[in-house]
Amino acid sequence: MPIRQAKKSWVREVRDWCISLAVAVVVALLVQNYAFAQTEVKNISMQKTLIEGQRLIEDKLSYHFEKPQRGDIVIINGPESDKRLIKRVIGLPGDVIDFTEDGQVTVNGKALNEPYIKGRTYANGLQVPYTIPDRTVFVMGDNRENSMDSREIGPIAFSSVEGRAVFRLWPLNKFGQLN
């Protein structure tokens, strides 16, 4: 009799491992596709904060419960359906965006403190002052002189904001949370 019980235990152990593995794979796929994702920086528009080739973790879940905030680094679906853009949220619905003659951004009449930018910021053809419509955000790259952003493509609908970049994985010497 003891041999039969050992056989049942072994079969039960294998079955339990298979079930556990299947559940882990399903959870990992759901988390990867719906909660978090890995993305790669593929342009220079976010220099000096992000450079081409860096790998980031994207939080895809938060914006289902809260709206983007000024300063968030977001991944958006760009004007071309196959192109994703990484930009910083500068303005929120109802904000009035303007630019000073010396290349500074103002929001609601107050100059933004932007130690992360590279270059000066100009309107690039945008009619200013510009009021951001409801359910949209105004985004710009940190490399202000080399960025396709809301100054050219207009405000970004909340529904086009895929997620928020929260963590840098690569290169290892830059590993850590994004600001």
Helix (H, G, I), strand (E, B) or coil at 44: coil
| Catalytic option among 42, 67, 87, 150 | 87
Residue 138's nearest CA partner among 95, 79, 86 is 95
Tokens 């405000």 correspond to 155
Mark whether 87 is an active-site residue. yes
Helix (H, G, I), strand (E, B) or coil at 131: strand
Mark whether 45 is an active-site residue. yes
| Catalytic option among 9, 42, 45, 81 | 45
How many helices (H) and strands (E) are present in the chain, helices listed first?
2, 12
CA–CA distance, 150 with 147 (Å, rounded to integer): 9
Distances (CA, A) of 20 to 12, 24, 35, 54, 80: 12, 6, 21, 34, 41
The enclosing H or E element of 17 equals: helix 2-30
The DSSP bridge partners found for residue 140 are 88
- Catalytic sites, residue numbers: 45, 87
